[in-house]
Chains A and B, each alone.
Chain A
């Protein structure tokens, strides 16, 4: 039977696997993503799960195709339903002609009483998982292998890449387990081939593309930090930053990174400041709740002019909020966190390539400016994997700024006061002073959380004149920062029906929406603000003044970016799209909204 199929954007297949937590849904989905990536295809996945270990509804969505894929979508072509709830929740996303894979021993989708589900417009693909698995003698968890086989069989993808992938995955468990998994996967594959309803998408490997690298945002940040020569990483587990701790811990000992799971986030950032004082490139990362605990120490890093990198990966707050979901509501928080005034840099990666690039650059900026640099991400970026061109480590350079790590300070008379003593906080036109590490002969200094004089003495920092000199010296570094930080990036045509300003991971679905709209003859262009602090007011103003109709898209309720634009550019945008339900913007939501506002 050949069913009419809803047009897909480009040549691609969208797969959703859904079921209860504890079924290994994410792991199964990632196996699929990896074998597609190894076969030269483009992928983007979205995992959605509640903050539970067992129970609750989990889904894994995967786009795979031959063209560039910028974000997730909600549309689905193949729905793998490991329970009937998956069908009830996600049927609306399954286009006409889409396939439902299910285990006929569990339930019959047509007898669930779902009004919109008719056998003549969806392809029913029964895969008797519960029968296949015992036939080859495997445990229930091996059902995932049958599901994966069924998906590949259905789209006519060769079986061999899955076999190779299972062989790698279970290499340590021995040939018997591998054989079982392969047999189960093959049985699923054959079942789907026999029930394919003439599915028109035939995905094949693209060997000439070579292997594509598959990373989530935390993996990209990890790789950026490693390339930058990170030597100390400390954190306390907090979703969605925890996987960064796991990566650092797994590789740290071999790569020369001291990794400490600290007793709390207060300890984590203070350890980072101590390591940074010793000259080590040091980083911590957390989400909003953990960052709340780090706030005082952020100010300590600022006043003590300590170079360090802090990752803040937002999830919906306040307090414990929605731990496994996404939001962009910590923008104002990271800009203003900690009492008093001190310079900071805030960088917001928009996608996985940005995450790699901005992380290694963050370490350079921290060293050049001797001040904390915040990487502002979110769950959508941290958790979801996409294919990228293999990161190029040869593009990474290391700028440590004014640093003396070894030797004798006598060789650096410019850093000494008239009495010949080291002046750690010596005033300078750019606001940055020469940093000599402990261990350097003659580098006696007090790196101080109190206001201090040029040598670091707290008791002399309360002098009014000294305070003004030191305060102005520190804040002057923001002017230097303007010359060093990455500027906003523009996408799309010069002239557009709507000009959109955004930051962070909203870049991904908005770029995808731009393509959707383009096909419908609607032009949008985008200004991605990469560095949120110091705020690029001039560039934003120029963009706003060059456009007809302007908008901000941001994942919070109160319009934090919109307010910043108004504050710094004295211009308000015409339209805003906000989202604060814990879900990322989807491209179709953005495209629909654009069409509404330009009418």
Chain B
């Protein structure tokens, strides 16, 4: 059975020292090891961004796709390979900017896959522009007057579109994040884990320290994960004033909402129950279709 270390490749990570991605990748490797998944039993699809550079560091048969487009190939893979578990890793700029349409449709589609968002509230790889989740009025190189838009509320969007597992994690709490990943990876449907992952280079506002003063665990306060309306209210905590003190704004982490027993998209299709490559082992007999056409 693989250990967390077995999932590492020989490529040395290129993330900045102190980057939140280290905690996220450590938590994922621990979760995979704890679940006992072998490398050939799952696949990962990455988008483009700092998070995506992690494709080189995880030893798996995976795909490093286009910016903003990690969810569609993951759905294509999951629906044709029921024998594999599929994980998506995407960024906030990647998944909630270019890929927001795919994200909303993925939530309502409920294909069985785990969607992990590396949410650092900034564009890191392209040197510090505002992302869809950057706090309102924060100044960046692309928003010198401050961001004039509300941040995207991924949890609220996923709830609105009927996602069946929605959680938020913090890269600074690896033990907690590992448990969130395990819950998401074993969920039978679309599972979102949006992870706050401070960018030490470009985001001087939402730092590790900033989060440490504000995060609290939902389970510590007996959160009811079946209450969709309450989860939506809670998701609005994404919106806070730029200069709010730890007393004024907090960041709840944990499982916001989970609904079990909902059939996933693939569960409802007989065609999705067999690996797709088996359809092309020999030519398909088209005589039945031809007879009906004549």
Contact = CB atoms under 8 A, between A and B. Distances in A.
A410 interface: no
A78 B98 CA distance: 55
A357 to B, nearest CB: 13
Interface stretch (B20-28, B65-73, B140-148): B65-73
B76 A441 contact: no
Contact of A271 (B43, B72, B279, B281): B72
Interface in B37-75: 39-41, 43, 45, 48, 53, 55-56, 59-66, 69, 71-75
Contacts of A436: 61
A187 B69 CA distance: 60
B101 interface: yes
Interface stretch (B174-182, B189-197, B233-241, B269-277): B269-277
Contact of B61 (A211, A230, A273, A443): A443
How many chain B residues sit at the interface, stated as a range, is 35 or more
Interface stretch (B115-123, B149-157, B252-260, B282-290): B282-290
A458 B55 contact: yes
Contacts of A447: 62-64
B277 A257 contact: no
Contact of A397 (B39, B40, B283): B283
B76 to A, nearest CB: 3
A458 B64 contact: yes
B294 interface: yes
Interface in A242-266: 251-253, 255-260, 262-264, 266
A258 B272 contact: yes
B105 interface: yes
Interface in A381-411: 390-391, 393, 396-398, 400, 405
Contact of A258 (B62, B80, B293): B80
Contacts of B228: none
How many chain A residues sit at the interface, stated as a range, is 35 or more
B72 A446 contact: no
A227, A438, A443: residue with the most chain B Cβ atoms closer than 10 Å: A438
A393 B276 contact: no
Contacts, number: 233
Given A458-B56, A459-B11, A277 B283 contact: no
B102 to A, nearest CB: 6
Given A458-B55, A459-B53, A279 B277 contact: yes
B71 to A, nearest CB: 8
Contact of A438 (B43, B72, B271, B281): B43
A443 B284 contact: no
A460 interface: yes
B136 interface: no
Interface string A228-248: 111110100000000000000
Interface string A468-497: 000000000000000000000000000000
A473 B294 CA distance: 46
Given A258-B269, A398-B283, A441 B40 contact: yes
B271 A256 contact: yes
A457 B281 CA distance: 31
Contacts of A275: 76-77, 79-80, 276
B274, B277, B283: residue with the most chain A Cβ atoms closer than 10 Å: B277
Contacts of B60: 444
Given A260-B75, A443-B61, A447-B64, 4 more contacts: A232-B276, A253-B269, A253-B270, A444-B59
23 contacts: A219-B293, A257-B279, A260-B75, A260-B79, A270-B69, A271-B75, A272-B76, A274-B73, A275-B77, A277-B77, A279-B81, A279-B277, A280-B279, A304-B63, A393-B285, A405-B277, A439-B40, A441-B40, A443-B61, A444-B39, A444-B61, A446-B56, A460-B11
Interface of B: 9, 11, 14, 39-41, 43, 45, 48, 53, 55-56, 59-66, 69, 71-81, 83-84, 101-102, 105, 269-272, 274-287, 289-290, 293-294
* A-B CB proximity, top 9 nearest: A280-B276, A274-B73, A229-B280, A274-B76, A231-B276, A279-B277, A271-B76, A270-B72, A438-B61
